[in-house]
Structure 1
Amino acid sequence: MEDDVMARVTAAVQRGQAGERASARAELAAMWAEVERGEGDDFHRCVIAHFMADLQDNPQDELRWDERALAAVDGVTDERAQEFHESLRVRGFMPSLYLSLADDHRRLGDADRAREYFGKAQATADALGDDAYGELVRGIADKVGRALAEGSTEPLPG
């Protein structure tokens, strides 16, 4: 399925990863406004919010976007996700969404909430495949777990 919103999200995320964080944030904010007006669906909301969180400079703002992503995923079905890519399953989104929230709460000094979301991420990690995405998320889980064990509130190392 041709999905203009997802193509634009991908382009904005790539710009953000290339160092153009402010312009990527602005683009994703504009797309968020579009989907909130009904020009998208919960799949778009989840993906936009998840990537928008990664572009925030303030951990509290990042938490708000990650909470929006988690709220939106409730309205996403496997069938809808597979319209974008046949391999997608909503359960496979959950470890990353939960890890993001665990890391937000950890950096904000709320270790109890961080551990709660970290536990949810671990409980859904079996949904990750043996692929690059699965390896990436498992690597992030290792970093978040270490930081939690150390009591660190510092951003994760690159």
Structure 2
Amino acid sequence: MTEQQEASEDAVMTRIGQAVILLHAGDREEARNRLGEIWAEIGAEGDSLHRCTLAHYMADAQDDPADELAWDLRALTAADGLRPGEEPGPAPGREPGQPPGRRPGPVAGQGAGQTARPGPQQAVRVFYPSLHLSLAADYVKLRRPEAARVHLARARAATGALADDGYGNGVRAAIARLERRLAAEPGEWPRPFPEQYP
């Protein structure tokens, strides 16, 4: 990759990061607008990492649970499209539970103590627990428990890729919380909840 290409890649991630800052500050509409503009620019065939990151955060900016699900599905599809040799770049992220965001970012998985950048395959695997957890939570909101359980099981199965750090432990804890919700007695289906990561 040339320096010019790298600068262009970094510029896209910087713009996504700026929109995420707005989202965290509570300006959901402006964050949605900015992320929508970037999505229109990169297109459905754009860089998979950009699309995965953007769609993951665009889901956070949605008011309708069905729209949130649609964006989380786009994020998963984009992650599936990350090819061997496609280097992950810097991306906006947050630790689990960091307000006001509801989910850890799919590319925020490296703890503060880690300096080595993971290879592409490892980086892709780190995305999946969070992506499937987000989808499980979407299905809970849409009162589709079986679909939620499928994605929660996939999230749990993918946790082997997570490091034993703040991010990894936070994702595992969030999976356990949602598992407890889904294990509620049959007559006590979990109510939709405003914060996926309280």
- Compute the TM-score of the two structures, normalised by the length of structure 2: 0.73
Q: Secondary structure at the match of 1:89?
A: helix
Matching residue's letter, 2:143: G
Aligned to 1:32: 39
Aligned to 2:102: none
Distance across 1 between alignment mates of 2:179 and 2:79: 24
Distance across 1 between alignment mates of 2:125 and 2:84: 8
Matching residue's letter, 2:179: G
Conserved in 1, the CA contact under 8 Å of 2:51 and 2:78?
Answer: yes
Conserved in 2, the CA contact under 8 Å of 1:78 and 1:90?
Answer: no
Aligned to 1:57: 63
Matches within 5 A, 1:80-99: 80-84=86-90, 86-87=117-118, 89-99=123-133
After superposition, give the CA deviation of every residue in 1:19-56 in whole Å (9 maximum; x if it has no partner): 11111111111111111176x41111111001100111
Tell which deviates more after alignment, 66-75 or 147-156. Answer: 147-156
Moved over 4 A (4+): none
- Would you say how many aligned residue pairs link Structure 1 and Structure 2? 157
Aligned to 1:131: 165
Greater Rg by CA? 2
Classify 1:77/1:157 alpha carbon distance in 2 versus 1 (closer, same or farther; 3 Å).
Answer: closer
Aligned partner (choices 133, 153, 156) of residue 191 of structure 2: 153
Conserved in 2, the CA contact under 8 Å of 1:81 and 1:90?
Answer: no
Matching residue's letter, 1:9: I
Q: Does 1:71 align with 2:71?
A: no
Q: Secondary structure at the match of 2:183?
A: helix
Distance across 1 between alignment mates of 2:197 and 2:78: 28
Aligned to 1:10: 17
Larger RCO, structures 1/2 (Cα 8 Å, 6+ apart): 2
After superposition, give the CA deviation of every residue in 1:103-130 in whole Å (9 maximum; x if it has no partner): 1111111100000000000100111112
Matching residue's letter, 2:29: A
Conserved in 2, the CA contact under 8 Å of 1:46 and 1:68?
Answer: yes
Q: Secondary structure at the match of 1:82?
A: coil
* CA-CA distance at 1:78 after TM superposition: 5.4
Conserved in 2, the CA contact under 8 Å of 1:96 and 1:137?
Answer: yes
Conserved in 1, the CA contact under 8 Å of 2:49 and 2:88?
Answer: no
Computed over aligned residues only, the root mean square deviation of the Cα atoms, in angstroms, reads: 1.9
Conserved in 2, the CA contact under 8 Å of 1:108 and 1:153?
Answer: no
After superposition, give the CA deviation of every residue in 1:111-154 in whole Å (9 maximum; x if it has no partner): 00000000000100111112222122122212211221223032
Conserved in 1, the CA contact under 8 Å of 2:132 and 2:151?
Answer: yes
* CA-CA distance at 1:157 after TM superposition: 6.0
Q: Secondary structure at the match of 2:12?
A: helix
Gaps spanning 5+ residues in structure 1: where?
none
Gaps spanning 5+ residues in structure 2: where?
1-5, 92-116
